[in-house]
Amino acid sequence: MRATAAVLLVLCLLAISHAWDCQTVVDIYNLMQIDAGLGQVVATNTSQIPFYLVGDKWIPLPGSLRHITIGPAGIWGVNSGNIIFKYVAGNWQQYAIGVKQVDAGGAEFIVGANMDNTPFCVKSSAIVGIMGQDTHYHGTRLPGSVKYLSCGHFGCWAVNNNDEIFLMSNVNKDTCQNKGWSHIDGKLSMIEVATDGSVFGVTSDGQVYTRDGITASKPEGTGWSIVPMYMPMTHVTYDLGRLWVVSKSGVTMVCKR
C-alpha cells in the first residue's frame, strides 16, 4: 500500500510540474489574434487596432489590421482589404495585395496564404528593402492549398480548409526552395510555430494542443498533447516560455509552466 501511495504521489507531482499556470491579461480586451516572437508580442483586437507590448503596457500602433505577426523577418500585418504591410520606422509600408494571412517567424523570410489559399514564401533578400515593390508581388508560390501557415526553427507548419495538418521542413531562406508538404496526424483550425521550433495549435472546438518531441533530426515530432483550458480558445502563440491564448469570447491569457 505504501509503495502504491508513493507511486501515485510521484505521478501527481509530475502532472503538477507539467501543468500550465494561466493568468488573465486584464489590461487589454477583445483581442482576436496575437503573435509572439524574439521576446516581442503584437496583437489585434476586434476593432482591428494593432498593439505592441512594451513591458506590461499595450501600446497602440498606427493603422488598422485584422492580422499581425512578429519574428526574425520583422513586423508584418494584413488589413481588411487583404493588403500586406511591413512596419518600417514607425509606419506601415504596403507590400502586396490579395493576402489573408502572413507569418514572420521564419529565418528572416516570410510566408503566408493568399485569398485563394495559395501558400507563398518571400525570400529574405526580397523583404529587406520593400519600397517601390510591385504590389502584386506574392513571392514564390508553394505547393498545396492552406488557410494558415507558420514557420520556425525546424520548418513551416500549415492547416488547410479541412483542418488537416502539414509540415514543410528545410525551407531555404535565400531561395524558398523546399521538399514539399508532409501530412501530420491530427486536426487543427490554426497553428503557430515559435522561434525555438515549438508548435501549438487550436482545434475548431477551441481545444489547445502542443506537438511533442520536435528536434532538428525529427522536425515532425512524436505526437500531440492537450493543453487544458477552462474555456474554448481561438488563437494561440508561444515564445520564451510564455503561451499566449485568446478565447472565443475575447479573453486573453498568458500561461507558464
- Return the domain boundaries, the chain: 26-256
The SS3 assignment for 51 reads strand
Q: Which of 124, 134, 56, 50 is nearest to 91 (CA)?
A: 50
Residues facing 152 on adjacent strands? 155
Can you name the CATH fold of 26-256? Methylamine Dehydrogenase; Chain H (2.130.10)
Q: Which three cell numbers stand for residue 241?
A: 516560455
Contact yes or no for 100/114 (Cβ under 8 A):
yes
Rounded distance between C-alpha atoms, residue 18 and residue 37, angstroms = 23
What is the per-residue pLDDT across 24-50, written as a single tens digit (0 to 9) for each? 998 888 999 999 999 999 999 999 999
Residue 111 to residues 141, 149, 254, Cα–Cα distance (Å)? 10, 7, 26
pTM for the model: 0.88
- Estimate to the nearest angstrom the gap between the alpha carbon of 250 and the chain centroid: 17
Q: Give, for 58, the enclosing helix (H) or strand (E).
A: strand 57-60
What are the C-alpha distances in Å from 223 to residues 74, 199, 214, 255? 31, 11, 9, 21
pLDDT digits (tens, 9 = 90+) for 117-160: 999 999 988 876 654 454 445 589 999 999 999 999 899 999 99
